[in-house]
Structure formats: C-alpha cells, structure tokens
C-alpha cells in the first residue's frame, strides 16, 4: 500500500473519530449534564481536530460531518454544535450507561 494513501486514510479516520467524539461528548455534557471524560481530554481532542482541519483542509472536507465542523475553530465552539440527532442521543446514552455500570461495580 502506498504510504501517501495510508497517511491520507489515517488522517481521514482520525478526523472522523475526533468529530464523532466531540459530538457525543458534547451531547453528554450539554444535554445530559454529565461527563465521562475529563475536560483536559476533551480539550486535547478538540484542539487536535482543529489542527488537523487546518493542516489538511482537503481531507477534512471529504470526511463526514464537514458542514457541522467547518466553523469549529476553538474548544468553545462545542457549545454551538447541533445536538438534535436521534442517533447521536442513542450513542451518548449508551456510552453514559456503560460508564456508570463500570463505575458502580
């Protein structure tokens, strides 16, 4: 496999993962008034995403949720993300329930 393709794919997958993580953890924080990761972890992920989107705008524009995150330029932007999505809510509840089960034992 071509290294450029592999690097492109790794960047693509990391942007996709970070966008999904930011969304689901924003939902947990802003809608469910809870959290399962530290503020430091959230900030790290958010800043990494911001840097990746700046460094690789062509790849970023090809990844799902591009429109949602194209104006995501600071950690504070997470409070303005659209969180009205049934799939997102389901995933957030699943993660939160798993977290509480693990921590209650």
Task: Average the pLDDT over 79-93 and give the result.
Answer: 95
Place of tokens 């290294």: 3
pLDDT at 1: 47
Residue linked to tokens 């591009």: 66
**Does 105 score more than 90 pLDDT?**
no
Report yes or no: 42 and 75 within 8 Å, Cβ to Cβ.
yes
How far is it, in rounded angstroms, from Cα 5 to Cα 9?
Answer: 6
Alpha carbons 70 and 57: distance in angstroms, whole number: 9
The answer on pLDDT for 2 being more than 70 is no
């Amino acid at each position: 496999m071509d290294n450029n393709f592999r690097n492109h794919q790794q960047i693509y997958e990391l942007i996709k993962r970070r966008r999904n993580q930011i969304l689901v953890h924003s939902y947990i924080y802003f809608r469910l008034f809870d959290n399962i990761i530290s503020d430091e972890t959230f900030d790290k992920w958010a800043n990494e995403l911001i840097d990746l989107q700046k460094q690789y705008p062509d790849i970023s524009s090809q990844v799902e949720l591009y429109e949602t995150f194209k104006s995501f330029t600071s950690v504070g932007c997470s409070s303005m993300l659209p969180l009205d999505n049934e799939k997102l809510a389901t995933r957030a509840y699943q993660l939160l329930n798993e977290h509480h089960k693990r921590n209650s034992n």
